Amino acid sequence: MVRVTESEPSRRERAQLVLAAAAVVAVALAPVVVAYVQLGYHADVDASEDYDAPAENADRVLTRAVHGAAADTSGEHAWPDRGDAVAAVRSSLESDLDALRSSRVESGTVYRVEYNRTAAESWRESNCPSGPNRQFGDCEAQDGVVVQERAGETHVLAVAFDVRVTSERNEFDLTIVVER
């Protein structure tokens, strides 16, 4: 026979003690849960979203600008005057590049845009056919703009840019080649 003395706590008292300890822990964790909800943390948020939006914005603006400038310039200059065609494209693009450079300054994002001569030359080498069986004339990359001779006229094929995006959180560089 087991004899219970007053100095030994009963099972019921131990259970009440465990229950009270659990309640104290739950009350202590409540502020942490409230803070977690108020901060709006969500584990499914894609951290790369901040990187993609400025890059997509730059690509969209540059694509639209190049297509407009190329449409206005292609076929307007004879092939011997291709330097004038390249200058006309760059001149036509300048206002769009300035608009991109200042587009999101107030929100803390800055774009630096420059022409990339090396990327234009690389694009020309890999996309302009050579040899006797080609359909059109020579291709040439000048100052970041790729042009081709077609029926004695200068046509714009591509423009290459270097874009640096700087924001409060990050900075990254892009090379964008816009094909027409």
pLDDT digits (tens, 9 = 90+) for 25-77: 888 888 877 777 766 655 545 544 455 688 898 999 999 999 999 999 988 99
**Is 25 within a domain?**
no
How confident is the model at residue 28, as a pLDDT?
A: 83
**Is 31 within a domain?**
no
Contact 101, 153 (CB under 8 A): no
**Is 125 within a domain?**
yes
How far is it, in rounded angstroms, from Cα 71 to Cα 90? 13
**Is 23 within a domain?**
no
Task: List phi, psi (to 5°) of 145.
Answer: -120, 130
What is the length of the chain? 180
How confident is the model at residue 33, as a pLDDT?
A: 73
Contact 178, 159 (CB under 8 A): yes
Percentage with pLDDT > 90 across the chain = 50
Tell me 38's DSSP state. H
Q: What's this model's pTM, rounded to 2 decimal places?
A: 0.70
Q: Which of 144, 140, 143, 135 is nearest to 125 (CA)?
A: 140
How far is it, in rounded angstroms, from Cα 55 to Cα 115? 16
**Is 115 within a domain?**
yes
**Is 22 within a domain?**
no
How confident is the model at residue 75, as a pLDDT?
A: 86
How confident is the model at residue 7, as a pLDDT?
A: 54
Distance of CA 125 to the CA centre of its chain: 26
Domain interval for residue 140: 49-179
**Is 37 within a domain?**
no
Q: Which of 98, 30, 39 is nearest to 65 (CA)?
A: 98
How far is it, in rounded angstroms, from Cα 135 to Cα 162? 31
Q: In the chain, which residues have pLDDT < 50?
A: 44, 47-49
How confident is the model at residue 104, as a pLDDT?
A: 79
**Is 10 within a domain?**
no
Domain count, the chain: 1
How confident is the model at residue 31, as a pLDDT?
A: 80
